[in-house]
Chain A
Amino acid sequence: MYIRIRPDSETPIYTQLIYQIKKGILRKELLPGEGLPSVRSLAGDIGINMHTVNKAYKLLVEEGVLTQQKKGFIVNSDTKLEIQPPHLLLYKERLEALVIDTQIFGMSEEMVEQMKQEIEATLKKDDEK
């Protein structure tokens, strides 16, 4: 799969990395049991600090998306992931921020629904950009 990072974005790089990997898993570009590049080689290829990659991998392990083995980080072969209470709390926080913005800017239900559908489409389609 292709990891696409925007260094100038407001979103921190480790967060971008986490969601790129999760997206790859949803799009089946990363398969259960597949190994990810080592921290050193991925950091080198992106051109960022190794700590950044390590942080992203470690957080993904915490969530159960990846597992760490002797060979390195691999995609969890257990496909049924369950969100754990601390992560659920974080999820609620982020959702809260979105709900607040939806209301304060008076965004219509259809508008949000349309955006959601657009995003969902990118998680399925296996297109080359």
Chain B
Amino acid sequence: MMLFIVMLSIFGLIGLTTGLTPYYSRKSTQFGVSLPAALQTGNQIKLYQKQFFIFHLIAVAILSVPLYFICQMDYLVMVQWGGIYLVVGMLALLMMTSFLFLHMRKKVLTLKSELPKTELESAAQEIVVDTAYRKRRLVVPAWLMIVPCLFIMLFTLVMTYENYDRIPELFPVHWGVDMTVDKYAEKSILSVLAVPAFQLVLLVVMYLSNLSLKKAKQQVSSVNATASVEKSQAFRFAWSVYQWFMLIALELLLVKIQMVMIFAEMSINFPLFIIAFCVIFIGSGLFLSFKYGQGGERYQLKKQLKEEKYNTIVHYDDDAHWKLGIFYFNQKDPSLFVESRFGVGMTTNMARWETWAMLVGLIVIILLPVLLIN
């Protein structure tokens, strides 16, 4: 029963967060299509958002049925099939999201093409840039991420080698869904380095994520420009702080995992601890998504900045550069990072070689801990 609840909540969380995505995406870009002001306030878009959400709820409900039966089975069968079902279920959910997204996108594109020409022309044909945008601190500085992490990694290394003799010849490196060890690694100078290597990977990933918040192209609305700049700056800073906390917490969690692995100190509370950890970070991530919205669009500024005059936002329509509405390809644009179109956060300019170099580099260093264990 416990397993059923845990797995259902994984499906539920994924379904819920993706289902809600249109609500915290920008009003001016829904389902990967830039919308002129006239469409942003229309009921049709609201209907699509609702449908998108409800479809995700239905999908989660359908996925839970086989899950329920799997969890009624024999313990060993349940553990084995549970893991497989989790992967299959998530893939199915991802496929459904993609199809639904493309379907909705087509509908929104039709709506947009049916608009009278003037509506489209009045939509921004202007790119607005604030020359002072980058003079303000947008993110947590990089050294504040790197220095504490290096200390934590150093501590992990010292702890591991100080206690090297106490580490068993075979130490656990993987646990099944029921928290029994199902994979061991042989002790060696290199294999005990897997967790510190993972700590390094984490630092690199979070560093790049922070860099994307700092460097991503500014997106200023051509009406209410000042308000949109302030919102966007607040958005970047809030997420950067969130990521900083997450980075430090995960690095410390890895110290604990290293202890569990090399000293075989698995306590019963540890899985619960990890679940609590996930709930806190996913919960606060959702909170930030709703408070700020993509690019800070939902964020309520404390002082009202002539906001009453206009209640729409207008961004430059660059749909031509967005393949399938979500992949940005713009050869001319030197930006590597841009605001993502669907959901919260940044994405990359896939037409730049630097982006691909970064992706390959990431894959290589992610493989590092895996290679160390084997």
Binding site for B on A (CB under 8 A): 1-8, 24, 30, 36-37, 40-50, 128-129
Contacts and interface: CB of A to CB of B under 8 A. Distances in A.
A126 B306 CA distance: 14
26 contacts: A2-B130, A2-B225, A3-B128, A3-B129, A4-B222, A5-B128, A6-B125, A6-B127, A7-B316, A30-B131, A37-B134, A40-B334, A41-B134, A43-B334, A44-B217, A45-B335, A46-B127, A47-B127, A47-B330, A48-B332, A48-B333, A49-B334, A128-B225, A128-B226, A129-B222, A129-B225
B121 to A, nearest CB: 10
Interface of B: 125-134, 215, 217-218, 220, 222-226, 306, 316, 318, 330, 332-335
Contacts, number: 72
Contacts of B128: 2-5
Q: Find the residue from A30, A43, A129 having the highest chain B CB count within 10 A.
A: A129
B333 A44 contact: yes
Contact of A2 (B129, B215, B318, B332): B129
A128 B335 CA distance: 27
Given A4-B127, A5-B126, A6-B126, 6 more contacts: A4-B126, A30-B131, A40-B334, A45-B335, A48-B332, A128-B306
Nearest to A8: B125
A30 B131 CA distance: 9
A44 B125 contact: no
Interface-central residue, B132, B223, B225, B318, by most chain A CB under 10 Å: B132
A69 to B, nearest CB: 17
B334 A5 contact: no
A44 B215 contact: yes
Contacts of B220: 2
A27 to B, nearest CB: 12
A5 B125 CA distance: 8
Given A45-B218, A129-B223, A5 B333 contact: no
Given A47-B217, A128-B306, A1 B132 contact: yes
Contacts of B224: 128
A129 B224 CA distance: 7
B210 to A, nearest CB: 17
Contacts of B215: 44
Nearest to B337: A44
Contacts of A6: 125-127
A44 B334 contact: yes
A7 B321 CA distance: 14
